[in-house]
């Protein structure tokens, strides 16, 4: 039987079990099944981390060594590595093995210049293909701070978290200046090696804080709008009280957003109209769930110290990409 499961952020494909052996078959054939987990988007020229699990049932068997390398995959009829050699790996009945691979460099060599979709073939057992949208980074030399609002909508942001990519659309129609700010910070590397430093299950995950060596470049006036704070919405953090700038000028709390943002984990109507929502996660909500899970064991809603993950929840990089054609933007919540 075949079944496929598509998750937000990661796609898991359960492939058909079937007889598979590199030597003469035994009287009782081995049944080998494969589970492939891939990111839901491929950013051209970036890493592409896949996980392949192989499970044996029935009789013991052997799998070729190349089955645990990029050579197990092909694109456009071309294997992503060499399948030469007779080296094999013995697996006992009911034994399994899992390998993680970055096949990004091999994909780059295939030169998917014009394609909008990666068609990745797993050439094991009965074989199967996985289709993943290809995203491309925004060109160099863009100035998002002066870009017309209607043009901003043609870009999205991908946060490469330690749990997989999180891709978001931008709501430039309701919060153009917040979108400009977020795109600019992502584009200039401000969010690289940042982290989600505050995590509240059933509420949100917050990241994007400034650092001593890199202060936030600007303060934003609010753009409160009718978008609701529901799971996956990106919204800007702000001060809870009025503050003063370096010149002693008062900054109202509702106009104090800078670089910190949060991603909603649940519906929270009390934020509606009081914080500026400026985008929405399109793919990657399992990454949000994984960040939330990092604090659940010791979480106490009354103890702010427990809202800080014990292990850094890193945003490795933020990449501005060109939105795919036909992408639904400005979804109604």
**Spatial distance between the Cα atoms of 48 and 80, rounded to a whole number of angstroms:** 13
Whether pLDDT at 25 is above 50: no
DSSP for 138-184? Answer: PPTT--TTTS-HHHHTTEEEEEEETTEEEEEEE-TTT-HHHHHHHHH
Which of the two residues, 85 and 158, has the higher pLDDT score?
A: 158
pLDDT digits (tens, 9 = 90+) for 48-91: 999 999 999 989 999 999 999 999 999 999 999 999 888 999 99
Spatial contact of 278 and 333, defined as CB atoms under 8 Å apart: no
Pick from 114, 112, 96: nearest CA to 104: 112
pLDDT digits (tens, 9 = 90+) for 324-333: 876 544 444 3
Confidence at residue 2, expressed as pLDDT on a 0 to 100 scale: 28
**Cα end-to-end span (Å), the chain:** 37
pLDDT digits (tens, 9 = 90+) for 171-180: 999 999 999 9
């Amino acid at each position: 039987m075949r079944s496929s499961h598509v998750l937000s952020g990661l796609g898991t494909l359960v492939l058909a079990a079937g007889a598979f052996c590199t030597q003469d078959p035994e009287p009782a054939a081995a049944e080998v099944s494969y589970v492939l987990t891939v990111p839901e988007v491929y950013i051209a020229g970036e890493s592409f981390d896949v996980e392949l699990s192989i499970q044996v049932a029935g009789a013991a068997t052997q799998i070729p060594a190349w089955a645990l390398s990029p050579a197990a995959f092909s694109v456009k009829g071309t294997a992503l590595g060499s399948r030469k050699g007779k080296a094999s790996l013995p697996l006992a009945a009911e034994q399994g093995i899992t390998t993680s691979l970055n096949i990004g460099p091999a994909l780059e060599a295939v030169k998917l210049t014009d394609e909008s979709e990666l068609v990745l073939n797993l050439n094991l057992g009965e074989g199967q293909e996985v289709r993943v949208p290809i995203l491309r980074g925004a060109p160099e030399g863009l100035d998002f701070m002066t870009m017309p609002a209607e043009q901003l909508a043609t870009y999205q942001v991908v946060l490469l978290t330690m749990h997989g990519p999180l891709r978001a659309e931008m709501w430039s129609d309701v919060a153009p200046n917040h979108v400009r700010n977020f795109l600019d910070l992502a584009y200039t590397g401000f969010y690289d090696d940042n982290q989600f430093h505050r995590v509240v299950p059933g509420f949100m995950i917050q990241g994007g804080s400034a650092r001593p060596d890199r202060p936030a470049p600007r303060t934003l006036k609010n753009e409160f709008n009718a978008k609701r704070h529901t799971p996956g919405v990106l919204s800007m953090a702000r001060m809870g009280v009025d503050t003063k700038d370096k010149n002693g000028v008062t900054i109202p709390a509702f106009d104090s957003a800078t670089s910190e943002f949060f991603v909603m984990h649940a519906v929270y109507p009390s934020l509606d109209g009081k914080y500026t929502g400026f985008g929405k996660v399109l793919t990657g909500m399992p990454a949000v769930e994984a960040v939330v899970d990092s604090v659940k064991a010791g979480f106490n809603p009354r103890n702010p110290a427990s809202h800080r993950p014990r292990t850094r929840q890193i945003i490795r990089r933020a990449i501005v990409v060109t939105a795919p054609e036909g992408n639904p933007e400005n979804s109604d919540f």
